[in-house]
Structure 1
Amino acid sequence: MHTRQVRPKLPKRRPIKPGIPACYLLQTEKSEVDGNSAVRRWTFGERDKSRTTKTILMIGETGTGKTTLINTMVNFMLGVGWEDIVWFQIMEEDKKKSQAESQTSAITVYELFLETSSSCLRIIDTPGYGDTSSKEFDEHIAANLEVLFSSEDGIHEIDVVGLVVKSTQNRLTEFQSYILNAILSVFGKDIKNNIAVFITHSDGLPAANVITSLKEAGVPCAKDTGGEPLHFMFNNRQTDSREENFKSAWDLGQNSMKSFLSFLQDIDVKQLRMTQGVLRERKRLEACVYNLQDAIKMEELKQKEVQQTQSALEENRKKLEKNEDFTYEIEKAYKAKVPIQPSWWKISKEATCCTICEENCHYPGCWLVKDLSWCSVMKDNRCTVCTGKCPVSAHVKENMIYVPKTQKVTGTSETLKRQCQDLEKYKEDLQKQLNESIVKKADLLEQAYQCIVNLEEIALKGGSTIIHLDFLIEKMKETGDNDKVQKLEELNKDIQPSKKKRLARWAVL
Structure 2
Amino acid sequence: MSRWLSTLISSGSPALYHLKPKKEEFGTLAKMTVGEKIPNKTNKTILLVGETGAGKSTLINALINYTMGVKWEDGVWFQIVEGEKNENQTESQTSDVVVYESFGFEDETLPYSLTIIDTPGFGDTRGIEHDAIVSQQLLDLFRLDDGVHEVHAVGLVMKATDNRLSERLIYIFNSVMSLFGKDVEKNIVALITHSDGRRPKNALKALEVANIKCATNEKNEPAHFLFDNCQDEARAENELEELEHSYDVTQKGIKQLMCFIAELEPQQLDTTVDVLNTRIKLTACFQNLQDRIEKIDLKISEIKKTEEDVKLYEKGLKNDENFTVETDEVYKEKEAVPGGKRWFGFLKGAVTCTVCEETCHYPCTIAKTPGMCEVIQDGNCIVCTKKCPAEKHVKDTWRYVNKTRKVKKTMEILKRTYEVKQEEKKTLLSSLEEEKEKLDEEKNTLVNESYQLVLKLEKIALNVDSLSTNVHLDILIEKMMEKGEKEKVEKLMKIKASQSKGVQTVLRYCYSKVTSAGRAAFNYVFKSGPDSSVD
Look up the match of 2:522. Answer: none
CA distance in 2, matches of 1:392, 1:42: 36
Look up the match of 1:108. Answer: 99
CA distance in 1, matches of 2:348, 2:453: 25
Look up the match of 1:89. Answer: 79
CA distance in 2, matches of 1:341, 1:151: 23
Q: How many residues align?
A: 489
CA distance in 2, matches of 1:235, 1:456: 38
Query: What SS does the corresponding residue of 2:28 show, helix, strand or coil?
Result: strand
Matched, 1:337 2:336: no
TM-score (norm 2): 0.77
Equivalent residues of 2:160, 2:200 under 8 A apart: yes
Look up the match of 1:476. Answer: 480
Matched, 1:224 2:217: yes
In structure 1, list runs of 5 or more residues that go unmatched.
1-7, 343-347
Q: How much does 1:349 deviate? A: 9.3
CA distance in 2, matches of 1:439, 1:17: 68
CA distance in 2, matches of 1:432, 1:25: 68
TM-score (norm 1): 0.81
Q: How much does 1:26 deviate? A: 3.9
CA distance in 2, matches of 1:300, 1:455: 30
CA distance in 1, matches of 2:435, 2:29: 51
Residue among 371, 374, 388 paired with 2:372: 374
Look up the match of 1:388. Answer: 386
- Tell which deviates more after alignment, 373-382 or 425-434: 425-434
Taking structure 1 as reference, are residues 25 and 306 closer, same or farther at Cα in structure 2, changes over 3 Å only? closer
Give, as a single letter, the amino acid of the residue that structure 2 aligns with 1:86.
Answer: V
Q: How much does 1:287 deviate? A: 0.9
CA distance in 2, matches of 1:284, 1:473: 18
Equivalent residues of 1:175, 1:502 under 8 A apart: no
Over residues 418-447 of structure 1, what are the superposed CA-to-partner deviations in whole Å (9 max), with x where a residue is unaligned? 946468666987776665554433222111
Taking structure 1 as reference, are residues 330 and 188 closer, same or farther at Cα in structure 2, changes over 3 Å only? farther
Look up the match of 1:443. Answer: 445
Matched, 1:164 2:169: no
- Tell which deviates more after alignment, 396-405 or 194-203: 396-405
Over residues 187-213 of structure 1, what are the superposed CA-to-partner deviations in whole Å (9 max), with x where a residue is unaligned? 333433211110111223333332343
Q: How much does 1:224 deviate? A: 2.8
Give, as a single letter, the amino acid of the residue that structure 2 aligns with 1:474.
Answer: E
Query: What SS does the corresponding residue of 1:48 show, helix, strand or coil?
Result: coil
Look up the match of 1:53. Answer: 43
Look up the match of 1:4. Answer: none
Query: What SS does the corresponding residue of 1:353 show, helix, strand or coil?
Result: strand
Q: Which structure 2 residues correspond to residues 394-405 of structure 1 after superposition, within 5 A?
A: 394-396=392-394, 397-403=396-402
Query: What SS does the corresponding residue of 2:457 show, helix, strand or coil?
Result: helix
Over residues 228-287 of structure 1, what are the superposed CA-to-partner deviations in whole Å (9 max), with x where a residue is unaligned? 332112121233337113343233223322321221111101221111222222222111
- Tell which deviates more after alignment, 83-92 or 259-268: 83-92
Taking structure 1 as reference, are residues 389 and 207 closer, same or farther at Cα in structure 2, changes over 3 Å only? same
Query: What SS does the corresponding residue of 2:364 show, helix, strand or coil?
Result: coil
Equivalent residues of 1:52, 1:119 under 8 A apart: yes
Q: How much does 1:70 deviate? A: 1.8
CA distance in 1, matches of 2:409, 2:260: 74
Q: How much does 1:289 deviate? A: 0.9
Matched, 1:456 2:440: no
Q: How much does 1:153 deviate? A: 1.4
- Tell which deviates more after alignment, 127-136 or 262-271: 127-136
Give, as a single letter, the amino acid of the residue that structure 1 aligns with 2:374.
Answer: S
Query: What SS does the corresponding residue of 1:243 show, helix, strand or coil?
Result: helix
Equivalent residues of 2:72, 2:247 under 8 A apart: yes
Taking structure 1 as reference, are residues 125 and 350 closer, same or farther at Cα in structure 2, changes over 3 Å only? closer
Equivalent residues of 1:351, 1:362 under 8 A apart: yes
CA distance in 2, matches of 1:96, 1:415: 63
- Tell which deviates more after alignment, 398-407 or 176-185: 398-407
Query: What SS does the corresponding residue of 2:47 show, helix, strand or coil?
Result: strand
Residue among 228, 239, 245 paired with 1:235: 228
CA distance in 2, matches of 1:416, 1:232: 74
Look up the match of 1:352. Answer: 351
Look up the match of 2:9. Answer: 16
CA distance in 2, matches of 1:292, 1:506: 16
Equivalent residues of 2:333, 2:403 under 8 A apart: no
Over residues 43-69 of structure 1, what are the superposed CA-to-partner deviations in whole Å (9 max), with x where a residue is unaligned? 323322232111112122111111211
Over residues 465-508 of structure 1, what are the superposed CA-to-partner deviations in whole Å (9 max), with x where a residue is unaligned? 2244433322221112233324444438642331232132679x
- Tell which deviates more after alignment, 209-218 or 57-66: 209-218
Look up the match of 1:345. Answer: none
Q: Quick one: percent identity of the two aligned structures?
A: 36
- Tell which deviates more after alignment, 153-162 or 393-402: 393-402
Q: Which structure 2 residues correspond to residues 176-195 of structure 1 after superposition, within 5 A?
A: 176-195=169-188
Give, as a single letter, the amino acid of the residue that structure 1 aligns with 2:39.
Answer: K
Look up the match of 1:504. Answer: 512
CA distance in 2, matches of 1:90, 1:127: 16
Q: How much does 1:306 deviate? A: 7.2
Q: How much does 1:302 deviate? A: 5.7
CA distance in 2, matches of 1:95, 1:499: 24
Residue among 259, 278, 288 paired with 2:285: 288
RMSD over aligned Cα atoms: 4.0
Give, as a single letter, the amino acid of the residue that structure 2 aligns with 1:111.
Answer: S
Equivalent residues of 1:62, 1:130 under 8 A apart: no
Taking structure 1 as reference, are residues 131 and 139 closer, same or farther at Cα in structure 2, changes over 3 Å only? closer
CA distance in 1, matches of 2:405, 2:456: 34
